[in-house]
């Protein structure tokens, strides 16, 4: 078979050149030409110079004529992973999972494949990073029944696809996409062109064969997935596996999902027998002190469809610097600065000469505005050295005018707090409704000053 032709395409304007150059002749961008694989041209002399797609032609139809079939989901055997995926595996779906080195991506997917293969489903684990002996040793250490799990150690994408066609797996894992390489490209594995070409071929195979495909992706030192941004656009779901390697807890978060809700959260604990699911994650993020301590407030955040109780801690101390420090861990730094300005403007509480540290316990990242009220109360509690009641929870958005605004799913958050034994709540008036929250004593507040007057 003739070797496929390659060319160089500008990532800025899309222009194609037969040879590499430092500057794109079309748009003038520097270092923008990247090697791409091109299919052989079809037709006679009048045919296009290059063809980039050789799939079957699809007829144009009216959208109203396209039938909608219910998506059949297959369980992975790990309910927390199913939650992050939106309910389970979908045939033909492509999932990209990224995370720091050593966080447990390979362990998670090996356990998942072992559980799926136990249901008589056909599986294939493709590894380009580890040898077959290393993977077998891990499976034995984890106590997995991997007798039905098929294994391939290969980096050539052509060989991987040939085996995939022959094996016809229903679930397939490629670990990792950065180690795969296409023979039609001369660039090194992990380069932008190789990652894009290998991912495109794997996605095309998954869609045509109905294989549920998992791709493992490396991350940069900033925490983003390595490789071209188009990689995240090509797949159906993007999952991030997060956690501190010094901690036993791991969190899998969906940031993109065409088959379910984003920001869904699955929680695992790393043990000597692999990853174990945490069915009640609120319990691990709450550290009940023997007695109430200043600067600690519990809030109810919402990750996807799951309410989650987390502890927000604040420490306010006299600063020896001309520019006091503002340190935020688990919350956005700019939001902390804004809340301190609102606290000064609408409550008369100044922190100009103090260092302010805010931390969300357990390594959880809270991105929603429901944490505003809890952060403000924790800062005030530390500043006044006055502990708030241990059975108190608070959530609500603080507006620039000093108003307390409601957040989504208020009643559901209150029920979750009551289930964990909390007795009092400070929330926006619109979130409280007419009920009492299953035994909760609810303080309905409209402004920041009204909330602070209660303490």
Give residue-wise pLDDT tens across range 396-405: 999 999 999 9
Q: In sequence order, what are the residues at sequence separation of 6 or more whose Cβ sits closer than 8 angstroms to the Cβ of residue 68? A: none
Provide the residue range defining the domain that includes 221: 74-279
Return the pLDDT at 39: 55
**Domain contains 69:** no
Residue 245 has a pLDDT of: 67
H or E segment and range at residue 192: helix 192-209
Domain boundary among 279, 309, 328: 279
pLDDT per residue over 291-314, tens digit each? 888 999 999 998 777 888 999 999
- Give a yes or no: residue 65 inside a domain: no
First to last CA, the chain: 79
The pLDDT assigned to 367 comes to 86
pLDDT, one tens digit per residue, over 193-231 is 899 899 999 999 999 999 999 999 998 887 788 877 889
pLDDT band at 370 (very low <50, low <70, confident <90, very high): very high
- Same domain for 310 and 180, yes or no, is no
For residue 363, pLDDT beyond 50: yes
Co-location of 83 and 182 in the same domain? yes
The Cα 203–Cα 92 span in angstroms is: 9
Q: Which of 83-87, 124-128, 358-362 reaches the highest mean pLDDT?
A: 124-128
Is residue 344 assigned to a domain? Answer: yes
Helix residue ranges per DSSP H, 210-291: 230-234, 281-285
Could you give the residue ranges of the DSSP H alpha helices within 30-178? 79-85, 105-117, 132-142, 157-167
Identify the weakest region by mean pLDDT among 33-42, 120-129, 229-238, 281-290.
Answer: 33-42
Can you state the percent helix, strand and coil of the chain, rounding each to 5? 30, 30, 45
* Predicted TM-score of the model (pTM): 0.75
Please tell me the distance from the alpha carbon of residue 69 to that of residue 71, in angstroms, as a whole number.
6
Say how far apart CA 99 and CA 412 lie, in whole Å: 31
- Which pair of structure tokens corresponds to residue 429? 């008036």
Q: Are residues 130 and 188 in the same domain?
A: yes
Distances (CA, A) of 187 to 6, 40, 129, 137: 11, 20, 18, 33
**Residue 309 and residue 253 share a domain:** no
Residues 314 and 342 grouped into a single domain: yes
Give yes or no for a contact between 95 and 214, defined as CB atoms under 8 angstroms apart. yes
Angle at 329 between CA 326 and CA 332, to 5 degrees: 75
- φ and ψ at residue 204, rounded to 5 degrees: -60, -40
Domain end among 279, 299, 330: 279
SS3 228: coil
- Give percent above pLDDT 70 in the chain: 92
Q: Are 42 and 57 in contact (CB under 8 A)?
A: no
Answer whether residue 270 is part of any domain: yes
> What is the rounded CA–CA span in Å between residue 43 and residue 22?
32
CATH number of the domain within which 408 lies: 3.30.230.10
350 with 440, same domain: the answer is: yes
What average pLDDT does the structure give for the chain?
A: 87
Q: What is the DSSP letter of 210?
A: T
> What CATH number did the domain enclosing 81 receive?
3.40.50.300
Average pLDDT, stretch 174-203? 91
In-domain check, residue 237: yes
Identify whether residues 303 and 211 lie together within a single domain.
Answer: no
Beta carbons of 160 and 174 less than 8 angstroms apart: yes
Please give the pLDDT value at position 46: 36
Distance CA 295, CA 314 (A): 5
Does residue 244 sit in the same domain as residue 329?
Answer: no
Question: Does residue 329 fall inside a structural domain?
Answer: yes
pLDDT in tens, 58-102: 688 898 888 877 778 999 999 999 999 988 999 999 999 999 988
pLDDT of res. 55: 45
Is residue 61 situated within a structural domain? no
**Range scoring the smallest mean pLDDT among 5-19, 69-83, 213-227, 432-446:** 432-446
Q: Are residues 361 and 251 in the same domain?
A: no
Residues contacting 308, CB < 8 A, separation 6+: 265, 281, 282, 285, 300, 301, 302, 364, 416
Residues 275 and 309 in one domain: no
Is pLDDT of 53 > 50?
no
Closest among 155, 140, 84 to 110, alpha carbons compared: 140
pLDDT tens digit string along 131-175?
999 999 999 999 998 889 999 999 999 999 999 999 999 999 999
Show which of 251, 279, 307 is a domain's final residue: 279
Q: How many domains, the chain?
A: 3
Q: Does residue 358 share a domain with residue 213?
A: no
Q: Do 35 and 154 fall within a single domain?
A: no
CA 133 – CA 137 distance, rounded (Å) = 6
Is 21 within the bounds of a domain?
yes
β-bridge partners, 15: none
């Amino acid at each position: 078979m003739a070797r496929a032709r390659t060319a160089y395409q500008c990532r800025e304007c899309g222009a194609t050149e037969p040879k590499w150059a430092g500057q794109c002749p079309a748009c003038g961008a520097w270092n923008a030409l990247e090697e791409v694989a091109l299919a052989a041209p079809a037709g006679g002399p009048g045919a296009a110079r290059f063809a980039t797609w050789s799939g079957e032609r699809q007829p144009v139809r009216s959208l109203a004529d396209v039938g909608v079939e219910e998506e059949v989901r297959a369980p992975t055997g790990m309910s927390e992973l199913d939650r992050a995926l939106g309910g389970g595996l979908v045939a033909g779906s492509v999932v990209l999972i990224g995370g720091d080195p050593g966080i447990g991506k390979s362990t998670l997917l090996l356990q998942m494949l072992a559980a799926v293969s136990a249901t008589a489903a056909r599986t294939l684990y493709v590894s380009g990073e580890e040898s077959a002996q290393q993977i077998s040793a891990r499976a034995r250490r984890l106590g997995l029944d991997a007798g039905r799990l098929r294994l391939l150690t290969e980096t050539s994408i052509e060989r991987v696809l040939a085996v995939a066609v022959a094996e016809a797996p229903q679930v397939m894992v490629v670990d990792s996409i950065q180690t795969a390489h296409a023979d039609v490209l001369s660039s090194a594995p992990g380069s932008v062109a190789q990652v894009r070409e290998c991912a495109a071929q794997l996605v095309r195979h998954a869609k045509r064969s109905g294989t549920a495909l998992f791709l493992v992706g490396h991350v940069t030192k900033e925490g983003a997935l390595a490789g071209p941004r188009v990689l995240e656009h090509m797949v159906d779901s993007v999952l991030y596996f997060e956690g501190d390697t010094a901690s036993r807890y791991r969190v899998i978060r969906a940031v993109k999902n065409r088959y379910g809700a984003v920001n869904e959260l699955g929680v695992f604990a790393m043990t000597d027998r692999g990853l174990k699911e945490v069915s009640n994650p609120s319990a691990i993020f709450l550290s009940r002190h023997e007695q109430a301590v200043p600067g600690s407030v519990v809030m109810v955040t919402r990750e996807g469809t799951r309410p989650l109780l987390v502890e927000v801690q604040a420490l306010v101390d006299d600063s020896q610097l001309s520019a006091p420090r503002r340190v935020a861990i688990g919350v956005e730094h700019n939001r902390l600065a804004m809340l301190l300005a609102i606290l000064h403007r609408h409550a008369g509480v100044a922190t100009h000469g103090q260092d302010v540290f805010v931390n969300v316990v357990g390594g959880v990242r809270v991105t929603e505005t429901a944490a505003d009220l809890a952060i403000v109360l924790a800062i005030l509690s530390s500043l006044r050295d006055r502990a708030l009641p241990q059975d108190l929870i608070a959530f609500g958005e603080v507006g620039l005018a000093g108003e307390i605004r409601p957040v989504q799913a208020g009643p559901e958050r209150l029920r979750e707090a009551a289930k964990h034994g909390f007795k009092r709540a400070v929330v926006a008036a619109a979130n409280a409704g007419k009920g009492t929250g299953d035994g909760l004593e609810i303080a309905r507040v409209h402004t920041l000053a009204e909330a602070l007057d209660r303490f």
